[in-house]
Amino acid sequence: MTLSVAGGEMWVVTGPPSSGKTLLLQILRGERRPDSGDVHVSGKSLYRDDPAHNRKFRASSGVVPECLSPEEGRTVADLFRLSSLVAGGVSPSERKGRTEELLAMVGLPETEETKVARLSVSERARMALAVELFRSPDYLFLDMLLENSGQGWADRLGAILRALAKGGRTILLAERRLPEKWQAGRIPPPASAEPFRLYRLTGPSPERKGGTESPPPGEDAPLPMTAREGE
């Protein structure tokens, strides 16, 4: 499989359980070295070049895993504190303000002091998204976010993600299936065949169907990434 993702695009990979969706996201994010092939970001390999490039890319990307641990003993505020440790240079007042804003956006107002273990699966998924958005990542890797958040939140989260993509962020979602309302829209045909399907939902311009060219670099444009098979 050869995949090229440009800045500001939103991709969804769908497929049945154990089809490799999570593995694909992990490989693209630089977490798991593929048996063959490579992932390039801004012309440099995540796996074969300087490890600092891999770390830098992972620092600029947010991840919401499929299985969210109950984080025994931690509160929601603790996870935001960890996120600010990664971001660096965030004052306590700024952290407090952004935390309140993000939690309100995902429907969890005033839950900073709530223990994570007491949140439901849906609440935990939304909280995890808010924690990642705290650092304003250029890339988002979201595994079963909509599935875990529940049907009631699929539309709202979809709108948030589309807005983020329009803002230039690159989003990769792994879901069991494409949400119904998204299927009703004008979605290009899937980019790959079995075992899973890749859908590109938004792009920087309608002409860029294959997504092989990266957007013109701007000051805040995320680094373009490509994945190639067999290299």
Partner 1 sequence: MSGSGPSLLWIDWRPYRGPTGRETAVRFLVLFLVASYFLGMFSSGGVDRFLAEEFTMTAILRGGVPDEEGAGIAGKVGALPHVREAVYRNPDEAWEEFLESYPGLESLRGGGRNPLPGYVDVRLRPGGLSEEGIEKVRSSLEPLPQVEKILSGGTLMPRLLRMKRWANALLWAGFALACGVFLAVLGMQERARAQRLLPDVSFLVERGVSGGRIVVRRAAGAAVVGAALALLAVSASVGALHFVTDAFPFLRAAVGPVRELFDSRIASPVWPFLLSAAALQGIASLLAGSAAFPKGK
Part in contact with partner 1 (CB under 8 A); list of ranges 9-17, 69-77, 156-164, 181-189: 69-77
Residues 6+ positions from 220 with CB-CB distance below 8 Å: 168
**Interface with partner 1 includes 57 (CB under 8 A)?**
yes
Kindly provide the b/e burial profile for residues 70-81, where b requires at least 16 CB atoms within 10 angstroms of the residue's own CB. Answer: ebeeebbbbbbb
Tell me how crowded residue 208 is: count the other CB atoms within 10 A of its CB.
Answer: 17
| The pair of three-digit structure tokens given for residue 95, joined into one six-digit string | 């952290």
Kindly provide the b/e burial profile for residues 28-67, where b requires at least 16 CB atoms within 10 angstroms of the residue's own CB. Answer: bbbeeebeebbbbbeeebbbeeeeebbebbbeebbbbbee
**Interface with partner 1 includes 230 (CB under 8 A)?**
no
Q: In this chain, which of 1, 43, 48, 55 binds partner 1, going by CB under 8 A?
A: 55
Tell me how crowded residue 20 is: count the other CB atoms within 10 A of its CB.
Answer: 14
| Beta carbon of residue 188, minimum distance to partner 1 (angstroms, whole number) | 31
**Interface with partner 1 includes 69 (CB under 8 A)?**
yes
**Contact flags string 134-153 toward partner 1, x per CB under 8 A:** -x------------------
Q: In this chain, which of 67, 85, 159, 187 binds partner 1, going by CB under 8 A?
A: 85
**Interface with partner 1 includes 44 (CB under 8 A)?**
no
Shorter beta-carbon distance to partner 1: residue 103 or 201: 103
Q: In this chain, which of 4, 84, 149, 170 binds partner 1, going by CB under 8 A?
A: 84
Residue 226, strand partner residues: 4, 40
Contact positions vs partner 1 (CB under 8 A): 31, 54-63, 69, 71, 73-75, 78-79, 81-95, 135
